[in-house]
C-alpha cells in the first residue's frame, strides 16, 4: 500500500486539455473516487497513474517515488478495466493467475493462489471455464480477482461496475466496500455514478473540464458542495437550484424569485462580498429537505405540478417553474400521494445553500 | 378502426423479390459464362486429357497424338531419374525447400515480426515501414525481377558496389548462391502480405488486453507469447496456407535466374514451363500441370476444412 500524489499534472491532446494543472494527494489506505461527467478528465487521470498515458507536464508520485515516466509494469499497481479485459483464450484460473505467471511463479503455486482469491469472490467453482462461458457479474469479479491476486501498491478501478445491470451493480458495490474495509487498500476509483462514489469513497474528487472542483469526504460534499456544479452532480436526485435576486434589507438578506416565499436570512460578510459583485445568487435546497407544506409554512416554493412519481418508500414530486426550471421534492411516504395541480413545498432555513453569481458556495453562518 | 381482410392474400415464393426475370438473368450471365467455359473449364479438362497423350508441338505426334495411358506420369515418377537435376523429383524437392525457407520462415516470420514491432512505434515510423513493405508487394513482377537482377549483377550490380565501398569482397550471388537469392527475393517480395494480415489481426485485439498485461507487469515478449500470438492463431493458419500455395506456384524467380544455373533454381512451375513450352512436350507438361493441380487442391481442402472448423465458434 502506498500514497499517490499529483503535482501540477496537465495532459493535453493537441489543443484540448483533458487534465489541466491538477494537484491532489491520496493517503495510504484511502479509497478515493474520481467523480465527474464523461470527458471531465477522470479516466485520463487514472490512466496517468497507471502509466498508460504520460502527462504533458507535471509529476506523479506513488509511495513517495516519482513514477511520471515509468512504464506501467514497473509501477507495481493493479487495475480493473471497464471492459474487464479478460483473455478470451484462457480459462479463469489462467486469467486470474496471469500477473503471477509474468512474475515467474510456478504453475501449481499460482493456481493455488488464484483459487484462494477466487473463492473469496465466490467464483472458485468456475476456474475451468472460459470468460465467454460465465455471466457479466462473474466476469467482473474475475477481473477483480486478477487485480487482487498479487500485492500492489495501488489499486485502480476504471468504471468497473458500469457494464453491470442495476441489481448486480448494487451487490458488487457492497462487496467492494466490504473488501476495502477488509484489506485497507489504497484505491482510486473512477465513476460517473455519484451514488457509487458516495457509497465507496473515503474522499471524492469531483472533476469538471479537466479540473478538480472539490476534493473532500462524501459527507462534506453532500453537506457543503463547493459549487453549483457539485451541488447539481451529487445527490439523487441532485440539489434543486433556484436563481434568486438578493438584496440587503435591515441588516438581513432578502431573496426574491417567482413563486418563492422566503423569510430574511442572516447577513454575513461573505454574502455582502457576493452581493457587491452581483445580486444574482443561486439558492439550493436538496429534494429530501423539501416537504409538502400547508399555507402557514415560512419558506415555500409554489409552482404547477409537473410529475408525481411513486417509488415505493418515497415519492418524487416535481414542479415546473417555467423555462425548464424544475424543483423536485423527495417525500418519504409509502402511501399514494395525492397532490393538487399547484403545489406548495416548504423547507427550513437551515437547509438553504447559497451560491454567488460565479456558482461558488457562500459559506453559511458558522462554516 | 377495422381492417378488412384481404380478398386475395399475395402469393409468395420463397424468394420475395427479383430484379430480373429468370430468362433475362440467364441472358446476362451468358457472356461471362461462355468466357469462363472457354478459358477455364474447357482447358481444365483438356489438360487432363492431354496428360494421357504424347502430344507435342512439332513432329508426327503434333498432328496425331497417341493415347499413352499413364505413360507421362510413370516417366515423371521413374525412380531411376526422379532425383536427378532437371527432373521432376529434384524440382519438387527444391520447391518444398523454397516454400519452407521463403514462405514459412521468411515471409510469415518476418511479417509477424514487423507486424508486432509496428504496433508500438510512433505512427510515422509505422507508415514509412508499411509504405516500403507494400511497395515491394505492389510493383509489377517484371519490374522487380529486372531490378533484382540489376541489383545483384556481378560486374555492375548495386549490391556489389555497396559491398566494395564497405571494403568487402564482391560476390557473384546469382551464379554461386542462386537458391538463396530466390529465397531472399521471395521473402522480400511477399512479407508485406503477411505483415498486413497480422497487423490487422493485432489491431483487432482490444487495446485493454495489452494494457491489462502491462499493468500486471508483463514484458513485451510475454505479451506477444501469451496474448498476441494465441489471439491471432486463426489468422496465422490462413496466412500460412495462402502463402504456401502462392509460393508453391510462383514463377517470378524465373525472371532472376531462368531456373538455372544448371537447374538449381528450377521450381516446379518453371520445370513445367520448360517441359511444355521450351521442350514442347505438351503431354508431359500437362501431366506436371495435373500433379500441381492436385497438390493445390490438397492445400485448398486443408484450408477450407480449417476454415469450416473455426466457423461455428
B273-292: pLDDT as tens digits: 888 787 777 878 888 888 88
Task: Examine the pLDDT at B250 and tell me if it is beyond 80.
Answer: yes
**Residues in A touching B218 (Cβ below 8 Å):** 73, 98, 102
Average pLDDT over residues B189-215: 89
Instruction: Check CB contact of A146 with chain B, cutoff 8 Å.
Output: yes
Domain check: are B226 and B146 in the same one?
yes
**A residues 73-102 lying closer than 8 A (beta carbon) to B:** 73, 75-79, 81-83, 85, 87-89, 98-99, 101-102
- Lookup result for grid cell 438584496: A247
Of A274-278, B74-78, B294-298, where does mean pLDDT reach its minimum?
A: B74-78
- Same domain? For B123 and B39 the reply is no
Q: With contact defined as beta carbons under 8 Å apart, do B260 and B266 qualify?
A: yes
> What is the pTM assigned to this prediction?
0.78
Give the per-residue pLDDT at B4: 47
Q: Do B172 and B52 lie in a common domain?
A: no
Domain interval for residue B50: 22-63
**B230 and B138 both lie in a single domain:** yes
In the listed set B32, B63, B94, which residue is the last one of a domain according to the structure? B63
- In sign, the C-alpha dihedral spanning B150, B156, B160, B161 is negative
Query: Which candidate, A68, A33, A71, A353, places its Cα nearest to that of A223?
Result: A353
Nearest by Cα to A301 from A314, A317, A278: A317
State the burial class of residue B61 (Cβ atoms within 10 Å of its Cβ: 0-12, 13-18, 19+): middle
Domain assignment present for residue B242? The answer is yes
Cell of A15: 489543443
Residues B88 and B59 in one domain: no
Domain A238-362 has CATH 1.20.1440.230: no
Same domain, B172 and B252: yes
Q: What residue in A sits closest to B216 (Cα-Cα)?
A: A99
Enumerate the CATH 3.40.50.300 domain ranges in chain A, comma separated.
Answer: 4-232
ipTM for this prediction: 0.82
Residues A350, A352, A356, A359, CA torsion sign:
positive
Q: What pairing do the DSSP bridges indicate for beta strands A280-285 and A299-310? A: unpaired
Least confident of A209-213, A247-251, B92-96, B97-101: A247-251
B213 CB within 8 Å of a chain A CB? yes
Q: Is the pLDDT at B3 greater than 50, yes or no?
A: no
In terms of C-beta density within 10 A (0-12 exposed, 13-18 middle, 19 or more buried), how is residue A286 classed? buried
Backbone angles phi, psi at A12, to 5 degrees: -115, 140
Question: For an interface test with B, which of A46, A51, A76, A81 has the most B Cβ atoms less than 10 Å from its Cβ?
Answer: A81
pLDDT of residue A120: 84
Contacts of A50 in chain B (CB under 8 A): 211, 215
Structurally, chain B folds into a number of domains equal to: 2
Instruction: Report pLDDT digits (tens) over B12-45.
Output: 455 566 677 888 888 888 999 999 988 988 888 8
Tell me the shortest Cα–Cα distance from A194 to chain B, in angstroms.
Answer: 25
Number of residues that this document lists for chain A: 367
HEC string of A201-219 equals CCEEEEEECCEEEEEECHH
Q: What pLDDT score does B312 carry?
A: 45
* Pairing of the two strands A4-13 and A57-62: antiparallel
Confidence (pLDDT) at B94: 86
Q: Could you tell me the three cell numbers for B60?
A: 508426327
Judgement on whether residues B196 and B53 belong to the same structural domain of the protein:
no
**Per-residue confidence (pLDDT) for residue B2, from 0 to 100:** 44
Same domain, B40 and B173: no
Provide the pLDDT for residue B310. 60
Looking at the structure, tell me whether residues B179 and B237 fall in a common domain: yes
Neighbours of B54 (CB within 10 A): 19
- Measured CA to CA in angstroms, residue A46 lies from A157, A207, B21, B120 at distances of 8, 12, 63, 21
Tens-level pLDDT at each residue, chain A (367 residues): 688 888 888 999 888 888 888 898 998 888 999 999 988 889 999 999 998 988 999 999 998 888 888 888 888 899 999 889 999 999 999 999 999 999 888 999 899 988 888 888 888 888 899 998 998 888 988 998 899 888 888 999 998 888 888 888 888 888 888 888 888 888 999 999 899 999 889 999 999 998 999 999 999 999 999 999 999 999 888 999 998 888 888 888 888 888 888 888 888 888 888 888 888 889 999 999 988 876 667 888 888 889 888 888 888 999 988 887 899 999 888 777 777 888 888 888 888 999 988 889 988 877 7
Architecture of the domain spanning A4-232: 3-Layer(aba) Sandwich (3.40)
Instruction: Give contacts of B219 with chain A, Cβ < 8 Å.
Output: 73, 102
Report pLDDT for B6.
Answer: 47
Q: Residue B151 is part of a domain; what is its CATH number?
A: 1.10.3720.10
Q: Where in chain A is the domain with CATH 2.40.50.140?
A: 238-362
pLDDT of residue B313: 41
Partners of residue A76 in chain B, C-beta under 8 Å: 217
Residue A55 near residue A33, CB atoms below 8 Å: no
- B59 with B147, same domain: the answer is no
Same domain? For B52 and B95 the reply is no
Distance of CA A80 to the CA centre of its chain: 17
Judge whether B13 lies within some domain: no
B114 and B161 part of one domain: yes
Q: How many residues does chain B have?
A: 313
Amino acid at each position: 500500500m502506498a500514497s499517490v500524489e499529483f503535482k501540477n499534472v496537465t495532459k493535453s491532446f493537441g489543443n484540448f486539455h483533458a487534465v489541466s494543472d491538477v494537484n491532489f494527494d491520496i493517503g495510504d489506505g484511502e479509497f478515493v473516487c474520481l467523480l465527474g461527467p464523461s470527458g471531465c478528465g477522470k479516466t485520463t487521470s487514472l490512466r496517468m497513474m497507471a502509466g498508460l498515458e504520460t502527462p504533458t507536464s507535471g509529476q506523479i508520485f506513488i509511495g513517495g517515488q516519482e513514477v511520471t515516466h515509468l512504464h506501467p509494469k514497473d509501477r507495481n499497481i493493479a487495475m480493473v478495466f471497464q471492459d474487464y479485459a479478460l483473455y478470451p483464450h484462457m480459462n479463469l484460473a489462467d486469467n486470474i493467475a496471469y500477473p503471477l505467471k509474468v512474475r515467474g511463479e510456478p504453475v501449481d503455486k499460482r493456481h493455488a493462489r488464484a483459487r484462494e482469491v477466487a473463492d473469496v469472490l465466490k467464483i472458485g467453482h468456475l476456474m475451468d471455464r472460459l470468460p465467454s462461458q460465465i455471466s457479466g457479474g462473474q466476469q467482473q469479479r474475475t477481473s477483480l480477482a486478477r487485480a487482487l491476486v498479487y500485492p500492489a501498491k495501488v489499486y485502480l478501478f476504471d468504471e468497473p461496475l458500469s457494464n453491470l445491470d442495476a441489481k448486480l451493480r448494487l451487490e458488487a458495490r457492497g462487496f467492494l466496500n466490504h473488501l476495502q474495509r477488509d484489506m485497507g487498500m489504497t484505491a482510486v476509483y473512477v465513476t460517473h455514478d455519484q451514488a457509487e462514489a458516495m457509497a465507496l469513497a473515503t474522499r471524492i474528487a469531483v472533476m469538471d473540464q479537466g479540473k478538480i472542483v472539490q476534493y473532500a469526504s462524501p459527507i462534506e460534499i453532500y453537506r457543503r458542495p463547493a459549487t453549483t456544479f457539485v451541488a447539481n452532480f451529487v445527490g439523487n436526485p441532485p440539489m434543486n437550484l433556484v436563481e434568486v435576486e438578493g438584496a440587503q434589507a435591515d441588516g438581513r438578506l432578502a431573496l426574491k424569485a417567482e413563486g418563492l416565499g422566503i423569510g430574511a436570512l442572516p447577513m454575513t460578510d461573505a454574502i455582502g462580498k457576493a452581493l457587491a459583485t452581483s445580486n444574482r445568487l443561486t439558492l439550493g435546497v436538496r429534494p429530501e429537505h423539501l416537504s409538502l407544506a400547508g399555507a402557514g409554512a415560512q419558506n415555500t416554493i409554489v409552482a404547477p405540478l409537473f410529475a408525481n412519481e411513486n417509488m415505493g418508500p418515497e415519492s418524487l414530486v416535481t414542479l415546473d417553474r417555467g423555462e425548464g426550471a424544475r424543483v423536485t421534492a423527495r417525500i418519504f411516504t409509502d402511501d399514494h400521494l395525492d397532490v393538487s395541480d399547484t403545489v406548495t413545498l416548504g423547507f427550513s432555513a437551515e437547509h438553504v445553500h447559497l451560491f454567488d453569481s460565479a456558482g461558488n458556495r457562500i459559506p453559511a453562518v458558522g462554516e | 378502426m377495422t381492417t378488412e381482410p384481404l380478398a386475395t392474400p399475395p402469393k409468395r415464393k420463397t424468394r420475395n423479390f427479383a430484379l430480373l426475370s429468370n430468362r433475362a438473368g440467364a441472358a446476362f450471365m451468358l457472356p461471362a459464362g461462355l468466357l469462363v467455359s472457354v478459358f477455364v473449364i474447357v482447358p481444365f479438362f483438356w489438360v487432363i486429357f492431354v496428360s494421357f497423350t504424347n502430344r507435342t508441338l512439332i513432329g508426327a505426334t503434333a498432328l496425331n497424338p497417341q493415347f499413352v495411358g499413364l505413360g507421362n506420369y510413370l516417366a515423371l515418377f521413374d525412380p531411376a531419374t526422379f532425383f536427378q537435376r532437371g527432373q521432376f523429383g529434384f524440382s519438387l524437392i527444391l520447391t518444398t525447400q523454397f516454400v519452407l525457407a521463403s514462405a514459412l520462415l521468411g515471409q510469415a516470420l518476418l511479417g509477424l515480426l514487423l507486424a508486432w514491432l509496428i504496433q508500438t512505434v510512433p505512427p510515422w515510423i509505422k507508415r514509412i515501414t508499411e509504405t516500403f513493405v507494400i511497395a515491394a508487394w505492389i510493383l509489377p513482377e517484371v519490374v522487380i525481377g529486372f531490378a533484382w537482377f540489376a541489383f545483384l549483377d556481378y560486374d555492375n550490380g548495386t549490391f556489389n558496389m555497396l559491398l566494395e565501398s564497405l571494403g568487402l569482397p564482391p560476390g557473384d550471388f546469382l551464379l554461386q548462391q542462386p537458391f538463396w537469392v530466390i529465397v531472399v527475393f521471395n521473402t522480400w517480395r511477399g512479407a508485406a502480405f503477411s505483415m498486413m494480415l497480422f497487423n490487422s489481426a493485432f489491431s483487432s485485439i482490444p487495446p485493454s488486453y495489452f494494457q491489462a498485461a502491462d499493468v500486471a507487469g508483463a514484458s513485451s515478449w510475454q505479451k506477444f507469447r501469451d496474448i498476441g500470438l494465441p489471439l491471432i492463431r486463426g489468422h496465422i493458419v490462413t496466412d500460412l496456407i495462402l502463402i504456401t500455395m502462392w509460393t508453391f506456384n510462383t514463377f517470378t524467380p524465373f525472371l532472376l535466374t531462368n531456373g538455372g544455373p544448371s537447374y538449381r533454381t528450377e521450381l516446379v512451375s518453371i520445370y513445367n514451363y520448360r517441359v511444355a513450352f521450351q521442350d514442347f512436350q505438351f503431354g508431359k507438361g500437362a501431366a506436371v500441370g495435373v500433379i500441381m493441380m492436385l497438390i493445390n487442391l490438397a492445400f485448398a481442402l486443408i484450408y477450407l476444412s480449417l476454415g469450416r472448423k473455426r466457423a461455428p465458434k
